[in-house]
């Protein structure tokens, strides 16, 4: 850390393993002291009472509080031991997978100080999830975002910095897991996520690299020989690491958030006291057994669906299933099935903490959302507990594909989608008969169905395998199993384009019709499951996290990421305009928080996101850079990149309609050092209309005659509209700079001048004006052999009022 930042620190406090160990030793001391004190005061009480029929009140109170102190010490010792062991195990597992994690050199540019800082800390004006906010390959943005969100406190600005172990330090001295600094906010703040801070300081939290480690399986497949692990063992190791990293993140949040909320000298004592209090520990363990508090599980899960841990989400699914009328024996089998699926997903490395889109958490989310979205009554149908059970089992199994972890990486087909495939899912459940077993077996038999027996004297492993041979060959397939298979076919993505899935769904419906089932009702259940699967990501979290998760989904499917973000009609058109979807989320029993999130996220993705992003980027860039300049109608990124490199103290933004070129620009701009450029996909006029007036220093335009920009009336009107907006957005000394290959004697050139003049511009006569576009540069857009010329305009000055 540079001296300038060191001088700005007001206070620093840490989550220290040294202090954690001291607290643990103090706890065990409290245990033995309490036991001795209990014996000292308590043992004489009995003979005194028997001999003299007298109770010594003072000694009794000492005995009581000594016994309570012993209990306190035991529970505190367990808590501090659990924390210390968790941190050590998480780091050891991370270092086993990646021996360099914790020692990677990385530096981030700070636009405030114009210097580089140690570690990863995104301080620039670009959105965190944008491709131009580059992150090292070893860092998982999702894990980083989870910790950052967890640390947010009203009226506090928080910066999260990922550093090497030695910078904390973790391996010596206090052995810090996290350090929170209270620092002067000299530059007005560069944090991309704010909480309305009105004060002149902010909080910088430093965490180790391994706490946000990227555990995507593809990073380690080629290192199996070094790790001495086969495929399943590697998956188990990744799953174990993910689980521990999630808990480590929660520990960091639990320790550091109070320091941000209450920046007092006594806060550290309060944190350790709160951690050790028996009432807190007992409450956490007993709360789930209180009938009144169990109902809060649903509301708490609604609030934190994307971030709740897998076990808690599974408990919420079961609680919701009970509310929907499932009987005790069905709940028992449901719980057993969840335990098996949890183990199965962990084997693939996509259990708890996995950043893959199709992980166990996603299946639980879909299950939870489908139960919430399926109403008691919908149109002409009444749904019973049987219907809720059918949609729930189909939800849990719809992505169950044990081959998905190996389908592309190890078969050599780099273009094969990495996620699950419905065909493999159906083949798997039909081969193992897992759904048949669920609907036909009792609890004891169903547990045995998943039990893996070992040789004599070795204990059996629970929830580790399946035994389809336990079902008799002559046993008829339950009708519920056929319905579940049909519902799973209905979840194929994108269903409206999957002819084979549509055909299989129709065939199973015909089979069900022959057995007397209501086909229209099953189709409605299938549609609701499909809608739940598509929409749950948008309803379970904040817009930025949803953006990242959907982008990961598009990566799995090898679809363009740009279709997963701003203003995409392709993805939303499948379900957002669906009449059933609109009706279901308007239902009075549907949780209001999901409806609110949907409205916010739909607007974020489908309507207002580019303008919102652009305005936020401009606002931040004005605080961090000397000038902010925008290229409108970008068709090629090379020119702006060159300009940005030559003017590193200024910030440059490109707006273009060509999605591929915008993506190329994002990739190229991400490599700039310092990172002083970004690109946005969209219509320049629509985006610029919503930004603040007097916020841009220069507009740049590369205008080629090859594009016939002024060839039709519509194009002339469009250009008049955008040019009319520009003077309002320029600062008083701002300019419009155009480089073009139009010749002066052409009608298009004259039309261009007329449009610019009519829009409130005049020719710039100031000789000292800085010119960004050069005539000696080759522009691929221009006609070969043409001579480029520069046109510079500035807004017309309003005449001074006459006296």
Report CA 744 to chain centroid distance, whole Å.
53
The order of strands in the sheet holding 158-163 is 9-16, 176-184, 201-208, 158-163
Is residue 370 within 8 A of residue 363, CB to CB? The reply is no
How high is the pLDDT of residue 299?
87
End-to-end alpha carbon distance in the chain = 58
Bridge partners, 178 (sequence order): 15
Q: Do 185 and 202 meet the contact criterion of CB atoms below 8 Å apart?
A: yes
Rounded to whole angstroms, how far apart are CA atoms 444 and 460?
A: 15
CA separation for the pair 89, 245 (Å, rounded): 10
Q: How confident is the model at residue 556 (pLDDT cuts 50, 70, 90)?
A: low
Candidates 641, 633, 739, 621; CA nearest to 685 is 633
Select, from the ranges 87-96, 132-141, 565-574, 759-768, the one with the highest average predicted confidence (pLDDT): 87-96
Confidence of residue 449 (pLDDT cuts 50, 70, 90): very high
Q: Best-predicted range by mean pLDDT among 118-127, 261-270, 299-308?
A: 261-270
Q: Which long-range contacts (CB under 8 A, 24 or more apart) does 194-201 make?
A: 194/157, 195/152, 195/153, 195/154, 195/155, 195/156, 195/157, 195/158, 196/154, 196/155, 197/155, 197/156, 197/157, 198/155, 199/155, 201/10
Residue 554 has pLDDT above 50, yes or no: yes
Q: How many CB atoms lie within 10 A of CB 624?
A: 23
In CATH, what number does 290-605 get? 1.10.1300
pLDDT at 3 (0 to 100): 47
Residue 414 is predicted with a pLDDT of 46
- At residue 298, does pLDDT exceed 50? yes
Closest C-alpha to 366, from 213, 529, 508, 226? 529
pLDDT band at 197 (very low <50, low <70, confident <90, very high): very low
Which of 35-39, 97-101, 306-310 bottoms out in mean pLDDT, i.e. has the lowest?
306-310
What is the structure's pLDDT at 221?
74
Least confident of 229-238, 409-418, 543-552: 409-418
Q: How many residues does the chain have?
A: 803
| Averaged pLDDT, 41-45 | 87
Taking CA atoms, 257 is separated from 12, 260, 304, 575, in Å, by 13, 5, 17, 39
pTM for this entry:
0.74
Distance in angstroms (rounded) separating the CA atoms of residues 350 and 704: 50
> Residue 569: what pLDDT?
44
**Least reliable range by pLDDT among 52-66, 151-165, 289-303, 692-706:** 289-303
Which residues are within 8 A (CB) of 302 and not within 5 positions of it... i.e. 6 or more apart?
591, 593, 594
- SS3 of 468-502: the string is HHHCCCCCCCCHHHHHHHHHHHCCCCCHHHCHHHH
**Exposure class string for 56-93: b at 16+ Cβ within 10 A, else e:** eeeeeebbeebbebbebbbbbbebbeebbebbebbbeb
**Range in 231-240, 304-313, 578-587 the model is least confident about:** 231-240
Residue spans in the chain of domains classed CATH 1.10.1300: 290-605
pLDDT at residue 545 in the model: 65
Is omega for the bond preceding 663 within 30 degrees of 0, making it cis?
no
Highest mean pLDDT among 216-225, 511-520, 720-729: 511-520
Phi, psi of 11 (to 5 degrees): -155, 155
Please check the confidence at residue 768 and state whether its pLDDT lies above 60.
yes
**Residue whose C-alpha is closest to residue 496's, from 577, 387, 405, 603:** 577
DSSP 452: B
* 724/761 Cα distance (integer angstroms): 9
C-alpha span between 502 and 495 (Å, rounded) = 7
Instruction: Determine the pLDDT at residue 409.
Output: 47
Cα 531 from Cα 251, distance rounded (Å): 35
**pLDDT score of 359 more than 70:** yes
Q: How far apart are CA 153 and CA 133, in angstroms?
A: 24
Residues 734-760, mean pLDDT to the nearest whole number: 90
Confidence class of residue 783 from pLDDT cuts 50, 70 and 90? Answer: confident
Contact 488, 366 (CB under 8 A): no
Residue range 589-613: mean pLDDT, rounded: 73
In the chain, list all ranges with CATH 3.40.50.150: 625-795
Question: Phi and psi of 769, rounded to 5°?
Answer: -60, 130
Q: Which helix (H) or strand (E) holds 651?
A: strand 651-656
- Per the DSSP assignment, residues forming a β-bridge with 703 are 740
Mean pLDDT of the region 435-455: 94
Q: How confident is the model at residue 581 (pLDDT cuts 50, 70, 90)?
A: very high
pLDDT of 218 strictly over 70? yes
The band of 795, judged by pLDDT with boundaries at 50, 70 and 90, is very high
Q: How far apart are CA 25 and CA 27, in angstroms?
A: 5
Dist CA 691 CA 709 (whole Å): 24
- β-pair partners for 110: 115
Q: Which of 275-279, 350-354, 377-381, 558-562 is predicted most confidently? A: 377-381
Give the orientation angle of helix 310-323 with respect to helix 296-303, to 10 degrees: 130
Mean pLDDT of the chain: 85
Tell me how far apart the alpha carbons of residues 167 and 184 are, in angstroms, rounded to a whole number.
20
Q: Rounded distance, CA 230 to CA 221, Å? A: 9
- The CATH code belonging to domain 625-795 is 3.40.50.150
């Amino acid at each position: 850390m540079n001296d300038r930042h060191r001088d700005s620190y007001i206070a620093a406090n840490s989550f220290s393993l040294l202090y954690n160990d001291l607290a643990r030793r103090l706890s065990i001391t409290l245990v033995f002291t309490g036991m001795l004190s209990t014996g000292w005061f308590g043992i004489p009480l009995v003979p005194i009472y028997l001999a003299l029929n007298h109770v010594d009140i003072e000694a009794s109170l000492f005995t009581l509080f000594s016994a309570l102190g012993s209990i306190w010490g035991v529970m505190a010792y367990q808590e501090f031991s659990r924390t210390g062991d968790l941190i050590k195990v998480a780091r050891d597992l991370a270092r086993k997978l990646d021996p360099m994690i914790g020692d990677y050199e990385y530096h981030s540019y700070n636009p405030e100080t114009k210097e580089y800082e140690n570690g990863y800390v995104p301080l620039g004006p670009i959105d965190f999830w944008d491709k131009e906010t580059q992150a090292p390959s070893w860092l998982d943005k999702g894990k980083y975002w989870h910790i950052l969100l967890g640390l947010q406190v009203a009226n506090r600005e928080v910066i999260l910095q990922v550093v090497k172990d030695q910078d904390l330090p973790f391996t010596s001295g206090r052995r810090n897991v996290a350090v929170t600094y209270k620092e002067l906010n000299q530059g007005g703040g560069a944090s991309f996520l704010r909480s309305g801070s009105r004060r002149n300081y902010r909080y910088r939290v430093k965490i180790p690299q391994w706490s946000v480690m990227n555990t995507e399986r593809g990073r380690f497949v080629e290192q199996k020989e070094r790790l001495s692990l086969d495929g399943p063992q590697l998956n188990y190791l990744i799953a174990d690491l993910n689980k521990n990293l999630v808990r480590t993140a929660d520990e960091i949040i639990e320790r550091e958030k109070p320091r941000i909320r209450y920046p007092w000298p006594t806060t550290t004592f309060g944190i350790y006291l709160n951690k050790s209090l028996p009432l807190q520990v007992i409450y956490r363990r007993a709360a789930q057994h209180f009938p009144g508090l169990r109902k809060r599980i649903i509301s708490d899960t609604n609030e934190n669906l994307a971030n709740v841990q897998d076990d808690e989400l599974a408990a919420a699914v079961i609680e919701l299933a009970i509310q929907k009328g499932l009987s005790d024996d069905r709940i028992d089998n449901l719980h057993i099935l969840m335990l098996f699926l949890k183990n199965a997903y962990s084997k693939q490395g996509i259990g708890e903490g996995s950043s893959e889109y199709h992980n166990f958490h996603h299946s639980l989310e879909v299950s939870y959302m489908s139960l919430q979205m399926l109403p008691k009554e919908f149109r002409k149908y009444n749904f019973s507990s049987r219907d809720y059970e059918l949609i729930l089992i189909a939800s849990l199994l719809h992505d169950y594909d044990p081959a998905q972890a190996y389908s592309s990486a190890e078969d050599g087909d780099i273009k094969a989608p990495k996620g699950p495939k419905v065909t493999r899912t159906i083949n798997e459940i039909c081969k193992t008969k897992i759904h048949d077993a669920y609907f036909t077996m009792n609890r004891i038999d169903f547990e045995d169905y998943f039990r893996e027996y070992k040789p004599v004297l070795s204990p059996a492993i629970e929830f580790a395998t399946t035994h389809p041979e336990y079902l008799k060959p002559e046993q008829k397939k339950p009708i519920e199993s056929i319905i579940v298979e049909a519902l799973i076919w209905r979840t194929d993505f994108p269903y409206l384009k999957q002819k084979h899935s549509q055909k299989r769904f129709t065939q199973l419906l015909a089979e069900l019709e022959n057995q007397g089932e209501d086909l229209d009702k099953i189709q409605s259940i299938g549609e609701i499951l499909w809608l739940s699967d598509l929409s749950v990501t948008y309803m379970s979290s904040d817009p930025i996290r949803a953006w990242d998760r959907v982008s990961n989904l598009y990566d799995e499917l090898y679809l363009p990421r740009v279709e997963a973000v701003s203003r995409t009609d392709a993805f939303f058109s499948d379900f957002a305009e669906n009449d059933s979807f609109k009706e279901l989320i308007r239902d009075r029993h549907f949780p209001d928080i999901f409806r609110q999130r949907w409205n916010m996220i739909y607007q974020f993705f489908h309507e207002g996101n580019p303008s919102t992003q652009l305005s936020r980027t401009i606002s931040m860039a004005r605080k961090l850079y000397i000038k902010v300049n925008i290229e409108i109608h970008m068709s090629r990124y090379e020119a702006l990149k060159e300009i940005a490199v030559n003017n590193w103290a200024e910030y440059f933004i490109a707006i273009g309609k060509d999605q591929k070129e915008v993506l190329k620009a994002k990739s190229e701009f991400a490599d700039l050092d310092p990172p002083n450029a970004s690109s946005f996909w969209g219509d320049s006029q629509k985006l610029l209309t919503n930004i603040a007036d007097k916020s841009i220093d220069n507009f740049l335009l590369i205008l080629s005659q090859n594009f016939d920009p002024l060839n039709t009336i519509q194009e002339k009107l469009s250009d008049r509209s955008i040019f009319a907006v520009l003077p309002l957005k320029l600062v008083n000394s701002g300019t419009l700079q155009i480089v073009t290959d139009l010749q002066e004697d052409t009608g298009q050139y004259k039309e261009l001048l007329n449009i610019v003049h009519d829009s409130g511009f005049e020719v710039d006569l100031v000789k000292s004006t800085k010119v960004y576009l050069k005539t000696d540069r080759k522009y691929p857009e221009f006609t070969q052999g043409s001579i480029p010329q520069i046109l510079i305009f500035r807004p017309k000055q309003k005449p001074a009022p006459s006296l």
